[in-house]
Amino acid sequence: MTTTSTERGSVADAIRALVVTREFQPGDRLAEADLAARLDVSRTPVREALRQLAADGMVEHVPNKGARVVALSPAELEHVFELRARVEGTAASAAAVGATGAELDRLDELAEEIARHGLPGPDQALDRVYGCNADFHLLLAESSRSSVIAASVRQLFHTAATVRTYQGFDEASVRRSVAHHREIVAALRARDGEWARSTMHSHLANARAALLGPRPVAHSHDTVDAPRDDGADDPAPTRPPS
């Protein structure tokens, strides 16, 4: 059932997978000995991976107290989407210049796979969308030909690893999202960086709205500081008291 060994994949990836599959939920402690036993390695590589994940923002590390899966508040999720829009928009713009033909072909494949597994139909499999979506966004970042951009995208993407793609999306949001992936590749093929950037902005605004609901209106007299989160059936991402 669970992959019983690390199998040449890094320990950090294995732990990320455990978080993505909700085996560890936001706020859960990540005990080193426990992870070491699960992944069938010693505590040493586990500790290294946890430090790495902590720097990535997926895990919170407190000295002498261990690591926990980060629990993002709705306000912080808003920030994740804002930063992703800006950073991945830049990535898309740079990828319009730098992407190779092979990368564009692979992005096409991934966009189609996301469509197959995301849209209603015989092949729908929402639990398989997360991986394809991750591959799409991270490959796009690589296509920017900039290690700096790629690292920033990776960090932000992994920070939101607990947000499962398309889970809780309404169908219209899913259709828009699927269309965005295809359109981004079209923009890249046209070598139009601004087209790619703005489509990426739309893509992430759509995801934000599907997960978090309408944006809070600053000068309204109700719910000034608390963004809505209807539409998302995630467990309330309340931050554990530090």
From the list DNA, a copy of itself, none, partner contacted by residue 190 (C-beta under 5 to 8 A by kind): none
* DSSP codes, 3-61: --S-TTS-HHHHHHHHHHTTSS-TT-EE-HHHHHHHHTS-HHHHHHHHHHHHHHTSEEE
DSSP class of 31: -
For residue 13, state whether it binds DNA (rule: CB under 7 A).
Answer: no
For residue 2, state whether it binds a copy of itself (rule: CB under 8 A).
Answer: no
According to CB under 7 A, which one of 17, 27, 47, 179 is a site residue for DNA? 47
For residue 186, state whether it binds DNA (rule: CB under 7 A).
Answer: no
**Secondary structure of residue 191 in the 3-state scheme:** coil
Stretch that binds DNA, among 44-52, 118-126, 163-171, 182-190 (CB under 7 A): 44-52
Stretch that binds DNA, among 42-50, 153-161, 180-188, 228-236 (CB under 7 A): 42-50
**Cα→Cα distances 174→2, 103, 128, 140, Å:** 29, 24, 14, 20
From the list DNA, a copy of itself, none, partner contacted by residue 147 (C-beta under 5 to 8 A by kind): a copy of itself
Cβ closest to a copy of itself, residue 75 vs residue 119: 75
- Tell me how many degrees the CA angle 60-63-66 measures, rounded to the nearest 5: 55
For residue 124, state whether it binds a copy of itself (rule: CB under 8 A).
Answer: no
222: its two tokens: 């109700």
From the list a copy of itself, DNA, none, partner contacted by residue 32 (C-beta under 5 to 8 A by kind): DNA
CB of 9 to DNA, least distance (A): 10
Phi first, then psi, for residue 128 (nearest 5°) are -95, -5
**Cα→Cα distances 187→106, 108, 116, 198, Å:** 15, 12, 21, 10
User: How many of the other CB atoms lie within 10 Å of CB of 155?
Assistant: 15
Q: Which positions from 51 through 80 interact with DNA, judged by CB under 7 A?
A: 63-67
Binding mask 50-79 vs a copy of itself (x if CB under 8 A, - otherwise)? -xxxxxxx--x---------x-x--xx--x
According to CB under 8 A, which one of 155, 167, 173, 202 is a site residue for a copy of itself? 155
215: its two tokens: 């944006």
From the list a copy of itself, DNA, none, partner contacted by residue 220 (C-beta under 5 to 8 A by kind): none
For residue 31, state whether it binds DNA (rule: CB under 7 A).
Answer: yes
